[in-house]
Homo-oligomer: A and B are copies of this chain.
């Protein structure tokens, strides 16, 4: 299996056994996420932006308005960025307060922005992004007009320096605590899509598309 090299920035030192560097795991964590958090530095001060994204091969793509100050800044100044994604999978309820934990899968990528100027790459990324958020959606909707495309800025981020951290399984208590009369286990956490709510302004006679059922 293909792995990312461990660098000074991506080396996991706390609970190192939870560190994961293989591409398959990291890409799966990224692809399941509906948003990421992007961090960058301005005048020594860290900033964070939660934003939608998609992955195509070894690049992440994020889009925004051409008027977005921070996006222009990222691309023009080639600022170093840190991108993170976290899935919370469960609350790990141990017998002792000390061993309480959570099950999670998180990924962190260090990269820098490249402004996408190739039209085909722009078109492709927006289609992949839309279908990632809602599979099947792109073919059903009005595609961007020339002026809408022009108002859209797309940044790409190469995934070269990346790591993940994963915890799964039951609580791990101190040996003597297994004798305590305390319920222990995991409360699973799931991000779920609920029944779609139709827009009240919708034209009569439009039924729910199969991909939303």
Residues of B within 8 A of A106 (CB): 50
Chain B hits for A126, CB < 8 A: 97
Interface readout for A196-213 with B: 1 if CB under 8 Å, 0 if not?
A: 111111110011110010
Q: Which of A19-27, A36-44, A54-62, A113-121 contacts B (4 or more CB under 8 A)?
A: A36-44
Taking a contact as CB atoms under 8 Å apart, the answer to whether B177 and A142 are in contact is: yes
| In contact, B191 and A88 (Cβ under 8 angstroms) | yes
Is A193's CB within 8 Å of the partner chain B?
Answer: yes
Q: Is A5 an interface residue (CB 8 A)?
A: no
- The reply on A2 being an interface residue by CB < 8 A is no
Question: Who on chain B is nearest to A101 by CB?
Answer: B52
- Cα distance, A38 to B40, chains bound together (Å): 12
Shortest distance between the CB of A4 and any CB in chain B (Å) = 17
Determine how close the nearest CB of chain B comes to the CB of A145; give it in whole angstroms: 8
Closest to A79 in B: B46
Interface bracket on A: 35 or more
CA–CA, A129 to B193, complex, Å?
28
Contact A189–B34 (Cβ < 8 Å): yes
Query: A183 to B108, Cβ gap below 8 A?
Result: no
Cβ B170 vs Cβ A199 within 8 A: yes
Which B-chain residue is minimally distant from A47 (CB atoms)?
Answer: B82
The answer to whether A187 touches B34, judged by C-beta atoms less than 8 angstroms apart, is: no
A86 within 8 A of B: yes
A-B contact pairs, 20 of them (CB 8 A): A34-B91, A39-B39, A39-B48, A41-B44, A41-B46, A50-B84, A50-B104, A91-B193, A95-B142, A96-B142, A97-B138, A97-B141, A97-B142, A100-B141, A182-B206, A184-B199, A185-B198, A185-B199, A188-B195, A189-B192
